Structure 1
Amino acid sequence: NYKDPLKPELDEIAREINGKDLTTGKQMTSFANLKDDGTTTTGDWIYTGSYLDSGNLMKRRGGIQDPKTNDPTGMGFYPNWSWSWPLNRRVMYNRASADLDGKPWDPARPGITWDGSKWVGDVPDYPLTMNPHDPNAWLPFIMNGEGVGRLFSNGMVDGPFPEHYEPVESPVANPLHPNNSASPVAFLYDKAAGRPNRFGTPQEFPYIATSYRLTEHEHYVTQHVPHLVQLQPKPFVEIPYELASEKGIKSGDHVRVSSKRGKVEVLALVTKRLGPMTVAGQKVYQIGIPIHWGYIGLSAESDPSHGRYWLANALTPFVGDANARTPEFKAFLVNLEKM
């Protein structure tokens, strides 16, 4: 029921995202009451409870103008300042702030406390009336299967303790253990597919590259949005001023950035934002590569090459971390040439 369906107001969208009980017409008050039978709605469960029939809780401004009233615990929770997901909880997993009897580990800085009938303080990340003395009560660390804290993880391929490894492609060896510079259990996609790994060396590809996003675009989807394409119409790479000077490159020049896997041919943006670094006693340059362009979209369609060499991921290595296989797209080696 937008006032103007073509231009809904943010407040209207927030109300809709909160969700509604379709049997009563009332706003949902908790994600715990959502059902899978079609009688309730929500745009995103974590925001359920943020916009009640009484109004938009995210507009509340009970803050530091009156700390005694607005922050009764003294913990900086300010429960009446805006709204915090989920359920206005200010500290996630706060059951761990109290001992097995429900008493705060630090009485001067309580997170939640068992008062004999319910948990008080912050919105408990725990059933409100679950008595900690009940033999069937959950243990405090609710997201761990054993219910207690861990000094280290027992489920990590590269555990049990954190360790520093260099990226698979790095201009320097790992100073902690140079004979095992990169993670020995990283997931190598080429190897897993039965292909030779394609990794470059600092001798072939002497510069570090990293990929990132721009404010004006969202991945590749916005290449179809004319206004955003006007703001950032063409692919480019950011090059440190000192490196550009060494290679005779100016902003607007066409450059080729290549890796062991592929290349991009785009415009240069010379910048002082990316200065040289001294790593292990040697000067190292970094090149920045926004990811948003490829062979589809308004910009590609208007270009004679149709964006043939615009795809940033033509450069990136086929490496995933040992556990989630998250791609190692933020650090790899490239070469740079003026075209």
Structure 2
Amino acid sequence: MKHGIITALDIGSSYVRSIIARLDENREISVLGIGEAPTLGMEQGTVTDIEALSKTIRASLEEAETLAKVSADNIFVNITGTHIKTQLGDGRISISGLSPNEPGEIDTEHVQQVIEDAKNSVKIQKGFEHSRILHAMPQSYVIDGQANIKNPISMNAFHLTAQVYTILAEITPIRNLAKCIELAGYEFDSENIVLNHVALSHSALSRDEKRLGCILIDIGGGTCDIALYNRGSLEKIAVIPMAGHNITEDLAIGLKTTIDSAELLKCNYGLALTDGIDPNLEVEVEGISGRPATKRSQQLISHVVSRRVEEILNLCYNKLVGLYTPELVTA
């Protein structure tokens, strides 16, 4: 890492945004530069054009580098998509004491070993042959039959068991994403890929919200990402391949206008709720391929928006019904 430089790359279906920062010896972060470029070559979390996406990444990072006056280094990038899978894994190890009949003291190495054992139990399962574990998050530990242990460090035990929530991504999307960054002219370690749900939770959720139980819903451009936290741990995730771009396309088709014009109409005049709609407001809508512009009411624009938002939220609800019971969420 050059002089403590770290780079965050947020590759969304709408924009590629980047931040270059410096991490000092006290783990304090100072933002040096930011960049943004409209996304080309990615849809719903999937790379669709490596060359186009690499150019977008380069444009975003070069803008950040110009402001930061340093080169992007130690790049971390987010990932999402319907290829993301999850699986609970169980790990179990023995803890050696000073004598065969004495329990041993659990240290950080033991914890890492039991997590690795849980990860290995997932890797050998059918259906995960072409996937890689991105995150392994311990849900709880058991020491010699005592359940619901949150932190076993320094405890004595003969055996340590862990239930670990693993998040996996298919190898092909990982390699394609890494190739885009490398083709843009940057070194990249694929170990620095972070699930979008996990990255977002660090900025959007407090420790109390995670501990008490909460649901995080991120409606992006191409996907809607859902995360369920309970007792401080990530317990469930889901990805819905419908989001903001679908609203834009609905407006483009319904109003017979361009995608760019529909996006502006959505952002400037689209409301999902009827409160705040001006029934007398009409806006000019650009025609397609040189056709004359037309006038459309905000009421019509918001009707199109609200119908699709309702569908997205219904999909979220249906997905959540299978993920949790209401008493798990209090925050």
TM-score interval, normalised by the smaller of the two chains: under 0.3
Greater percentage in helix: 2
TM-score by length of 1: 0.18
Greater percentage in strand: 2
TM-score by length of 2: 0.18
